[in-house]
Amino acid sequence: MIRVAVQPEAIDIAGELDLHDAGGHGASASFIGRVRGDGDLVELFLDHHPAMTEAGLADLGHAAADRWRLAALTLVHRVGAMVPGDTIVFVLASSPHRAEALAACEFLIDRLKTDVMLWKRETFADGRVEWVEPREGDQGRAERWAER
């Protein structure tokens, strides 16, 4: 089961865990990404292309399922305005054994940053507004999966 969602609402981690784990899997690995408050950040706004963002998440989910033996996979990404501490992304991969779940989770979060159409705008306490440019390290982490 691969489930993806793109939503402006807060991500209900407990609810997502309940939905995902209905099958009783051997191992699950998760990643929860939250808005950092570095540099007096007061708002992070994630813009997206609705159809392409969801399709990008689904493509990543299928790529992970093709690569590892997964029993279930959940990818939920939030869009819109968020404040420090809010959850941006939730990745949950389950498999019969931990190695596949851990690898799939890491793969998904590494590739999500480069493969899914999302744009981040930061607003700071002093009124500055900046679009976040891709980081060199993100591309490197994504590319390392091509080598495996």
Q: What is the pLDDT of residues 28-46, one digit of tens each?
A: 999 999 999 889 999 999 9
Query: For residues 22 and 34, what is the distance between their CA atoms, to the nearest angstrom?
Result: 25
- Domain of 17 in residue numbering reads as 2-147
**27: CATH:** 3.90.1170.40
Residue 95: CB atoms within 10 Å: 24
Query: For residues 80 and 39, what is the distance between their CA atoms, to the nearest angstrom?
Result: 20
Q: pTM of the entire structure?
A: 0.91
Beta bridge partners of 27: 95
Query: How many domains, in total, are found in the chain?
Result: 1
Q: What is the pLDDT of residues 73-122, one digit of tens each?
A: 999 999 999 999 999 999 999 999 999 999 999 999 999 988 898 999 99
> How many CA atoms, within 13 angstroms, populate the side-chain half-sphere of residue 91?
22
The pLDDT mean for the chain works out to 91
